[in-house]
A and B are shown apart, each in its own frame.
Chain A
Amino acid sequence: MMASSYNAKEEDGHLSGTPGPGVVGADTSKKPDNTAFKQQRLPAWQPILTAGTVLPAFFAIGVIFIPIGIGLYVTSNNIREFEIDYTGLEASSPCFNCSQSYSWNNTKPCTCSVSFTLDQAFEGNVFMYYGLSNFYQNHRRYVKSRDDRQLNGDTSALKDPSKECEPYRKNVKPIAPCGAIANSLFNDTLALYISSNGTQIEIPLSKKGIAWWTDKHVKFRNPGGNNSNLAPVFKDTTKPVNWAKPVYELDTDPENNGFINEDFIVWMRTAALPTFRKLYRIIQKKGMTPTLPRGNYTLLITYNYPVHSFEGRKRMILSTISWMGGKNPFLGIAYITVGSVCFFLGVVLFIIHHKYGNRGNSSDIPS
């Protein structure tokens, strides 16, 4: 009998009858507020996976990805790239001799030259990289073995480098720049000659603009501000163990000397993977002629950097670039593959949907 008085209205709290004496006024009532949030009635978008949304999405992804992939692939293929390994571990290699005598402080630099031929002309700016393999610049102990405050020109850090730099923290005097990264600075010198009519003409290599702007201008700063004479600033420090020259003698150009030497900055930006390449020089394009025309070239290497011990390889890479960076066919291939698979999946799902699609219908909800 009373069950009939149980109705939804009351459940909603709108009791039609007189409230009990416990409810003196609205203020004292413990009745919860009727807000959409508290009653969990917030309006909401409730997407569900239906054939109407999923299948078009797959087709759309297919349609979008395949052209992107093709574009990327073509772009990547259009990039000229030339790579030459000059490690010289093989006896036939011109640098074999140099590679065998590996010592950091060779007073007499060992040089060797490698000749190569470019089959195709390189248009536009050409970038010259050195590549290292099997070099663990991403090893934790290596990565953290630097003192950013010192590199940022902090004079106190200059005199008292961070503990992270151990064991290249102090060599009687504090080392500047300290740490294993700086200590292992790549110090081969590369020069490129083009053979034209039997004479070797050196190709001018620009060493400006090879580091990130932020690195050069914010992250790395010489101590003592804009003082062009760095020697006094670094006078209480000593050079890294493996270096031939102190840091303030890296270059004669004061804009490229000391901590803001771009070769040094590039090196200090540690690589993510044990095989990496770093920008060494830029060959600016000049006029309408190809920057590097077809022909024979000679690479003259001042061989200082020993990689023989850990089976590393050293390479020199010449490359043009595009809007998507250097040569890397992977992205294009991946896009094409993913797009195709999506398209294919769309077709398969479409067929399945047509065959079994009505299973999702609610008609057979057991009650």
Chain B
Amino acid sequence: MGNSFPESSVVFQRECHSTSVFSSSSVLRRENGRQTCTRSGKTDCLPWTCREERRDSKMSFFGLSCAKKKEKEVERRIRANDREFNLPFKYATNAIKTSKYNLFTFLPLNLFEQFQRIANAYFMFLLVLQLIPEISSLSWFTTVVPLALVLSVTAAKDATDDLNRHKSDRQVNNRKVEVLINGELRSEKWMDVQVGDIIKLESDQFVTADLLLLSSSVPLNLVYIETAELDGETNLKVKQALAVTGDMDDSIESLAAFDGEVHCEPPNNRLDKFTGTLVVRGQKYSLDNEKILLRGCTLRNTEWCFGLVVFGGPETKLMQNCGKTTFKRTSIDRMMNALVLCIFGFLAVMCTILGIGNGIWEQQEGSTFIAFLPRQDGVNSAFSGFLTFWSYVIILNTVVPISLYVSVEIIRLGNSFYIDWDRKMYYARSDTPAEARTTTLNEELGQIKYIFSDKTGTLTQNIMTFNKCSINGKCYGDVFDFAGQRLDISERTDRVDFSFNPLADPKFVFYDHSLVEAVKLEIPEVHGFFRLLALCHTVMAEEKNEGDLLYQAQSPDEGALVTATRNFGFVFQSRTPESITIVEMGIQRRYELLAILDFNNVRKRMSVIVRSPEGKLCLYCKGADTIVFERLHQSCGKMKDVTTEHLNEFAGEGLRTLALAYKELDEEYFVLWRERHHEASTAIEDRDERLDELYEEIEKDMILLGATAVEDKLQDGVPQTIEQLAKADIKIWVLTGDKQETAENIGYSCNMLQEEMNEVFVVSAKSSEEVREELRSARLKMKPEAEEKPVIISGGILGKKTKVVQDEAVDGEYGLIINGHSLAYALDSSMEIEFLRTACMCKAVICCRVTPLQKAQVVELVKKFKKAVTLAIGDGANDVSMIKAAHIGVGISGQEGMQAVLSSDFSFAQFRYLQRLLLVHGRWSYLRMCKFLRYFFYKNFTFTFVHFWYAFFCGFSAQTVYDEWFITLYNLIYTALPVLGMSLFDQDVNDRWSFQYPQLYAPGQLNMYFSKTSFVRCVLHSGYSSLVLFFIPYAAMYNTVRDDGKDIADYQSFALLAQTCLVIAVCLQMGLDMAYWTVVNQVFVWGSLAMYFAVTFTFYSNGMYLIFTASFPFIGTARNSLSQPSVWLTILLTTMLCVLPVVAYRFLFILLRPTINDKVRFKVCQAKAGPPPPAPRARIRRSSTRRSAYAFSHTQGYGDLVTSRRFLRQVPAPRQSAGFSPTGRSTGFIHMGRSGGYSPTGRPQSSREPETSLQIYRAVKEPVS
């Protein structure tokens, strides 16, 4: 059956091709996954699968996995309508579960997880240490208070996250579908659907589970499905049920009685393969992928269908492909972890020094001091040193403060909220705000070096619109004002009114009134032009109600053309194998269809031969201009030139062009030709060649009618965004499943590829050697002197070996286009570095015809060998793998599929928001995080190091410099808010300036704001500050007294002095670091200082002492000490000494080596008067000789199909009544597509929602049954 259906065979052929890519790559990577592969008993399983399974088993260890891995399923046996039979196999039901906790498991599991974090565990350990009296140098509350705070904040966050997951699970699980139970159809929740059930789907519903198609409303048991969710391909695909099941039709009795048994493969993640058998009444039928509907697909243009659930819920191919969400970490995170380890080392060193110091001190001084300070029993000096070591571990623990982690989380959360709140990333048309789905990756947005973008639905809107045309040498489609200036088209531009044509598609928008005038004037060429478009295509029309036209086109371009033609008064109405009925300016005419000379990618054109109702024979041809122009009559010379000019202009704007020509045929000649054609088409040998010859012969001396220009509509602002991102030195790679030509064209129209580029390399070789050679030669062309061996920097922290391929600079700009087949070879481990080197030298890289897995592999490759942060952006389920693989995944929401969004880290509605996400939010987040870390480490090191210096003066006894309360509250209260305020509000320059100078983004990519060097600088700075903070008060207080002669050099006064100096010094330092003082910052900074004094005076007050005598021994210190002028003079001196060198140093750097930030900030300072002028958005107009259209890449089309009698046998005969009835019709059309453009997956929206004239978006709402 499938053979008689060319389209499906095309589709499956392609899938086969991709299968080979899949398996070849899996063969190449076999060694990675062998162990688990053998376990799963599959020789060609993907490494992906294996990883997934491993994770699964780990998860189930915690009881998290809903479906415990049972024994390896070897073969699945299902009996339809027989739950008792299916039950013992324990197949997964259709419920999905992505949440982690439930009410009871939350606390233990969450705590368990939290204590797996090294920091939390460390603090737990500290707490234990503090309970040992010999060691305890601090009270227990100094650790417990922060720890409890941290744990509860994190737990709250986890809980809300999980609640959201529960919610989305519930939403999906509670979708309704009709299930056949006990002989009747019942509406059931998705989660109650079980394997073996028969369910009924209706048009535009999501497929509930992986189904075996049984029967459908469409003749021959076909169904149309859209697989965009799964593989991103938007053209409809056809699936066909077995005849034996299809015969049941929608008879509930026979379906209920159906007891077929399915034997098939166990669940796996291969979308393109299915093997199994169906046993019905003892007969065996083989099952393949063509009979399976996968979960995630959408049923289209099919009224209903019945299916048998084969895999449910987590076992569906969709879910198997999704994998578990991996925990992403930012590079700052990783560095922080490394730093924390270093700090631990550092801490150990400090404690060891002090421990040894204590040992020595006890030996030399302590033993003689016994009279005053007896030792505890059994403690000798060495043991005392050992105990002191641990005491100092407690005291110096503030170098790794627990509040660091909380603060980091809070900052990230805050910055995520900014993304959610940003009105400039809110898309009004679909009411979609941007969303930060992961709140832990913000600062990485400021470090992106590579962007991997999907094409369809991401860069483009997946809408084709008929935009311009050239008819008989005149160009239509542009709007001019009275002065003859071309106008930019905006929302306000006057639209062409198609109301004269009741059959018009109201969503079609056209602005040039002259074309309608020309049609109304009945200019013959214009009529001929549209007549051709109405006749020469393979679109099929469906008229459900009167005037309710539904076009089904194989190529969206064709759909767009036919829809446009329909509006201009040439309505394609219906076709039979022998005829085409169109309504020409209100008059129905039936053309006899004599032949279709179909597309293929060699011919790059298609023709039809029709006989008009008047009996005139005519050949209409449309195709690639170069091909058509070769076959024109000599008389067209002049027009050819004019049209070429127009075509160049169209191409320059990135439109997809087709040339149109016709030819009147001689009756006698045609009869002869037709006989030969019949002969050739029944020939057994060389049929194609002979047919081609015949076509060639008849398609010549044609008369040029004009050309069409169809826009593959880019999303708004895509070229500008790409330009901006390129200026920010971000490399953009487009990874698309689309055809090479389409991808290339989009590359040009969105400014990635440019005419001015030195060269655009195309790699499309078929064998490994060729690919390698092509890559090599491309590389050598770019950089002839390049070394054969790539510069690889091996490095690694803590035994993790990393290899980094150095960036290589090239002169000139190059582009690289590689197709999926070549990519499979290029991604081989032996060639991947070669590929990477070549690709990274190019300014733009486009990978076309890639599978979802390859997308992920490309991302992984860059991740592996480039020390760069990657971002993947896409909208479809085919992008999920790449979104998950990249450091940051961005989903375009508002489009039909939610898969990409659900697995993404950030989502918004339009590609153009990416520049705001990166250049503004990302940059700020990164800046803030780095400033935060630098400052945080500074303030804590400074705080801690003072203890280190003090140790030398207190016999290394682990005596703290500060009051215990101060130690407890320092990070929590005194210094927390100012730094939080800075990290939430700081901006070096505002968003407009960020856009004005995208170069500001570069420091993030280079890790300039927070690196190991800056950390070391931080440590040195703290070292200096702590020396000042200890020794200035020391010297100032040494042997001195108050102004009334009383004590001031006592421990408590000294502690107060030191901590006051510290607080003020770090506040001043904060003031230096902060670039953006909002009211909130002012309040936080001054408030914290005020809070410090308030708390200090409170805690040192009589009342506190009298109530909690043991806890507040510092009574009176503040009053007695802070009333002394010498104390304040000391504070002034100390803080000034801390800050002044920093000011001088920074000022010097701004003078001598200003960074880009300094420069821009200086400029902003100068230009305070007003915002920067908006960057001119000049419309790019250029001429190009590069053409594209589906004609260039099209494979065999519907041609055979539409002439096949079998296909159309059940289509009702065309109505004989005229298309226009003067009485008018009340029923409106069901509109296909959007914007009057054409989308292959368009579905009638009007049935559900009231139309607005502006409805040029795709509704986001899921069909809820």
Q: Which B residues, 980 to 1014, have Cβ-Cβ distances below 8 Å to chain A?
A: 985, 987, 990-991, 997, 999
CA distance A46 to B373 in the complex (A): 56
CA distance A271 to B1054 in the complex (A): 9
CA distance A340 to B711 in the complex (A): 72
Interface flag for B1144 (CB, 8 Å) = yes
CA distance A321 to B1045 in the complex (A): 7
Name B420's contact: one of A32, A183, A213 (CB within 8 Å).
A32
Interface flag for A282 (CB, 8 Å) = yes
In whole Å, how far is B830's beta carbon from the nearest beta carbon of chain A? Answer: 39
Q: Which residues of A contact B1163 (CB under 8 A)?
A: 362, 365
Interface flag for B1105 (CB, 8 Å) = yes
Q: Which residues of A contact B426 (CB under 8 A)?
A: 13, 30-32
CA distance A95 to B1075 in the complex (A): 65
Name B954's contact: one of A136, A154, A210, A213 (CB within 8 Å).
A136
Interface flag for B243 (CB, 8 Å) = no
Q: Are A342 and B431 in contact (CB under 8 A)?
A: no
Q: Known contacts being A21-B1249, A38-B418, is A273 close to B1038, with CB within 8 Å?
A: yes
Q: Are A21 and B959 in contact (CB under 8 A)?
A: no
Interface flag for B186 (CB, 8 Å) = no
Chain B 1029-1045, CB-CB to A under 8 Å as 1, else 0, gives 00010111111111111
Q: Are B1133 and A11 in contact (CB under 8 A)?
A: no
Name B1254's contact: one of A18, A42, A353 (CB within 8 Å).
A18
CA distance A72 to B1125 in the complex (A): 11
CA distance A6 to B714 in the complex (A): 11
Interface flag for B565 (CB, 8 Å) = no
Q: Which residues of B contact A327 (CB under 8 A)?
A: 1040
Q: Known contacts being A32-B421, A148-B1113, A361-B1159, is A4 close to B953, with CB within 8 Å?
A: no
Q: Known contacts being A20-B428, A61-B1140, is A139 close to B957, with CB within 8 Å?
A: yes
Q: Which residues of A contact B459 (CB under 8 A)?
A: none
Q: Which A residues, 26 to 53, have Cβ-Cβ distances below 8 Å to chain B?
A: 29-34, 38-51
Chain B 1250-1265, CB-CB to A under 8 Å as 1, else 0, gives 1011110101110000
Q: Which residues of B contact A47 (CB under 8 A)?
A: 1075, 1077
Task: Name the interface size band of chain B.
Answer: 35 or more
Q: Are B959 and A167 in contact (CB under 8 A)?
A: no
Interface flag for A137 (CB, 8 Å) = yes
CA distance A179 to B1126 in the complex (A): 33
Name A349's contact: one of B369, B997, B1136, B1147 (CB within 8 Å).
B1147
In whole Å, how far is A221's beta carbon from the nearest beta carbon of chain B? Answer: 10
Name A272's contact: one of B420, B1053, B1125 (CB within 8 Å).
B1053
Q: Which residues of A contact B1081 (CB under 8 A)?
A: 44
Name B368's contact: one of A22, A274, A309 (CB within 8 Å).
A309
Chain A 141-167, CB-CB to B under 8 Å as 1, else 0, gives 111010011001010000000110011
Q: Known contacts being A5-B490, A139-B955, is A34 close to B423, with CB within 8 Å?
A: yes
CA distance A39 to B990 in the complex (A): 11
Interface flag for A16 (CB, 8 Å) = yes
Interface flag for A287 (CB, 8 Å) = no
Q: Which residues of A contact B1102 (CB under 8 A)?
A: 214, 218
In whole Å, how far is A313's beta carbon from the nearest beta carbon of chain B? Answer: 13
Q: Which residues of A contact B953 (CB under 8 A)?
A: 138, 273-274
Q: Are A17 and B1254 in contact (CB under 8 A)?
A: yes
Q: Known contacts being A13-B428, A45-B1077, A328-B1036, is A279 close to B1047, with CB within 8 Å?
A: yes
Q: Are A360 and B1154 in contact (CB under 8 A)?
A: yes
CA distance A361 to B1116 in the complex (A): 54
Binds A, one of B202-210, B312-320, B716-724, B784-792: B716-724
> Which residue on B lies nearest to A79, using beta carbons?
B1040
Q: Are A272 and B1054 in contact (CB under 8 A)?
A: yes
Q: Which residues of B contact A213 (CB under 8 A)?
A: 1116, 1120
In whole Å, how far is A230's beta carbon from the nearest beta carbon of chain B? Answer: 20
In whole Å, how far is A68's beta carbon from the nearest beta carbon of chain B? Answer: 7
Q: Are B716 and A6 in contact (CB under 8 A)?
A: yes
Interface flag for A270 (CB, 8 Å) = yes
Q: Known contacts being A32-B420, A152-B1109, A328-B1040, is A16 close to B1159, with CB within 8 Å?
A: no
Q: Which residues of B contact A131 (CB under 8 A)?
A: 1039
CA distance A129 to B1050 in the complex (A): 14
Name A310's contact: one of B368, B488, B1077, B1165 (CB within 8 Å).
B368
> Which residue on B lies nearest to A360, using beta carbons?
B1154
Q: Known contacts being A17-B491, A331-B1036, A356-B1151, is A136 close to B365, with CB within 8 Å?
A: yes
Chain B 1114-1137, CB-CB to A under 8 Å as 1, else 0, gives 011001100011100110010011
CA distance A273 to B1036 in the complex (A): 12
Number of interface residues of A (CB under 8 A): 130
Interface flag for A277 (CB, 8 Å) = yes
Interface flag for B1146 (CB, 8 Å) = yes
> Which residue on B lies nearest to A163, using beta carbons?
B133
In whole Å, how far is A19's beta carbon from the nearest beta carbon of chain B? Answer: 6
Q: Which residues of A contact B1253 (CB under 8 A)?
A: 18
CA distance A352 to B1140 in the complex (A): 17
Q: Known contacts being A6-B717, A328-B1038, is A142 close to B373, with CB within 8 Å?
A: yes
Q: Known contacts being A269-B1052, A310-B369, is A326 close to B1039, with CB within 8 Å?
A: yes
Interface flag for A330 (CB, 8 Å) = yes
Q: Which residues of B contact A21 (CB under 8 A)?
A: 1249-1250, 1252, 1255, 1259
Name A20's contact: one of B430, B1140, B1162 (CB within 8 Å).
B430
Q: Are B955 and A49 in contact (CB under 8 A)?
A: no
Chain B 604-629, CB-CB to A under 8 Å as 1, else 0, gives 00000000000000000000000000
Q: Which residues of A contact B720 (CB under 8 A)?
A: 3, 6
Interface flag for A190 (CB, 8 Å) = no
Q: Are B1126 and A325 in contact (CB under 8 A)?
A: yes
In whole Å, how far is A144's beta carbon from the nearest beta carbon of chain B? Answer: 9
Q: Are A31 and B1120 in contact (CB under 8 A)?
A: no
In whole Å, how far is A10's beta carbon from the nearest beta carbon of chain B? Answer: 7
CA distance A219 to B599 in the complex (A): 100
Interface flag for B104 (CB, 8 Å) = no
> Which residue on B lies nearest to A146, using beta carbons?
B1113
Q: Are A326 and B1040 in contact (CB under 8 A)?
A: yes
Can you add 17 more A-B contacts, CB < 8 Å, to A5-B490, A134-B365, A338-B1136? A4-B489, A13-B423, A17-B1254, A43-B1079, A44-B1077, A44-B1081, A54-B1144, A61-B1140, A138-B954, A140-B137, A140-B957, A272-B1049, A282-B1045, A309-B369, A324-B1126, A325-B1043, A367-B997
- Some 7 contacts from A to B, beta carbons below 8 A apart, are A30-B433, A49-B1143, A142-B372, A163-B133, A167-B376, A352-B1151, A365-B1159
Cβ-closest 5 pairs across A and B: A214-B1116, A362-B1163, A272-B1054, A140-B957, A38-B421
